[in-house]
Chains A and B, each alone.
Chain A
């Protein structure tokens, strides 16, 4: 998917678009060759064994050879086109939706008059477009499909897992109030730590504000991860408690009666100043029981009336 010229195909000839990466292509060719040999060998031996029970072993061998070749060729073709099959599988929802749209439109247009066609289509398209709740839900679902592809781009373009280029299994996705949550099962070569180091790049690729990845469950599966793609901020919103909803104050025969012992001295002039003697006595014993830090012992009474200045 890297080159973009004219045409469409697999080869490296000029005038074509490369839909399979070179590394994957080489890997696919090698795997197909190995699959052909192994399949042909196993099917050939089995066919020879079964056929030799009914005919001469040489004839059985001659019969087993084409059977083994055909079986090997079938498997070789499957493995060779596997990257394309895989790509079709990845885009199945979009292909399905596009086909349903096209065929649905054609069927509706053929079966009904133009007026009826529009009468069906206008509410079908208009209601989700006009009603905010449905619109938001539809957009959130669309983002779920988009983000799965964007994550796959991350894994194929800059998070290289292993030599064969196998990609992690991107499982289901669901919308969250801030974006999307996607579950992923890693293939050999990747780990949670490696992905945590690439979160900034993943967020950029997914057109998101930020991304977070953590273990999907406490079951101890290190390969089973959960991506949280964050596009909006919810922590600045006001969160309401469900408690007021579980009470029924309308039917409550409760009347508030203010207490009678409410203090009346609510301003500073209302509270009389304490006398210096009382204040000193209070600070000596202190309400909290602590002695003042700078408290000094009272000077001893002078009993001998001696004054050196006299």
Chain B
């Protein structure tokens, strides 16, 4: 489904919005039976964890690419490494590299928006935002959560970041502001149970121990046979996904090459101008039409 508009450069018709919406289920890969795995991210949040090389960044980029191409969606990206989400720097409303002050400031703004949205939802006599409300979906993606909670800034700043993030994760799911967070350090000091349980979807790539697998999937899951440390480390992209009430199941996350990521990001950047949000380009008013 594409929205076709006139090309501003006059070189024919080009698609300006692929018709994706963050309210539609997001394709993330296949399960062990080859069936598509689709996630309803807006209302659930997504936590991704696993050791380096497990395929985390593939899933993070898939989420970022989908969000970038989705209609009426804003991106807020946290990437202390710069290169994982850096392709979307022109698309994102806010891009935070390794600046903890800016990170805290942006989180405060997001929380204010969340509070305001809830006041608005209350005025509409409802409990959550819907697609028909035409409010923008603000997707916050954090790559390497541990950098912001244990490395950058002072302990006070790290604590404040964690506190604000906890607030955004708990508030964002019903007001169209989902959070997708990834980390390679699967330990309790990075992801305490109180924060983990706020994420409706949890995806564990290969972990080094069954304890770190439990940090993501939930206590006692390794003993029940759902152990991400048993995932083949030579098969990047394979992960255990816990989604909803269903028991964790194996998936293979879809992969995007660097070229594909930059193509998507460039296309999204061009598609989103000049408003920064996905809207069809306005029709060209030619000199003849102006004269008329």
Contacts and interface: CB of A to CB of B under 8 A. Distances in A.
| A interface majority secondary structure | loop
A176 B155 contact: no
Contacts of A246: 2, 18, 20, 69
A247 B15 CA distance: 8
A228 B31 CA distance: 12
Interface stretch (B198-206, B207-215, B246-254): B246-254
Interface stretch (A4-12, A37-45, A235-243): A235-243
A92 B190 CA distance: 61
A271 interface: no
Interface size class of B (residues with CB under 8 A): 35 or more
Interface stretch (B102-110, B118-126, B160-168, B263-271): B263-271
A239 B32 contact: no
Contacts of A253: 9, 11, 270
A288 B62 contact: no
Interface stretch (B73-81, B146-154, B284-292): B146-154
B14 interface: yes
Contacts of A179: 33
A248 B267 contact: yes
Interface in A191-250: 228, 230, 234-244, 246-249
Interface string B227-263: 0000000010110000000000011111110001001
Contacts of B263: 244, 247, 249
B282 interface: no
A252 interface: yes
Contacts of A240: 254-255
A256 interface: yes
Nearest to B266: A254
Main secondary structure of the interface of B (DSSP, over half): mixed
A248 B15 contact: yes
Contact of A241 (B2, B151, B260): B260
A289 interface: yes
A243 B264 contact: yes
Contacts of A290: 154-155
29 contacts: A177-B34, A178-B32, A179-B33, A228-B33, A235-B30, A235-B32, A235-B235, A237-B252, A238-B255, A239-B30, A239-B252, A239-B254, A241-B27, A241-B255, A241-B256, A243-B66, A243-B256, A244-B260, A246-B2, A247-B69, A247-B263, A249-B266, A251-B12, A252-B14, A252-B266, A252-B267, A254-B266, A256-B266, A288-B153
Interface of A: 176-179, 181, 228, 230, 234-244, 246-249, 251-254, 256, 288-290
Interface of B: 2, 7, 9, 11-12, 14-15, 18, 20, 27, 29-30, 32-35, 62, 65-66, 69, 151-157, 235, 237-238, 250-256, 260, 263-264, 266-267, 269-270
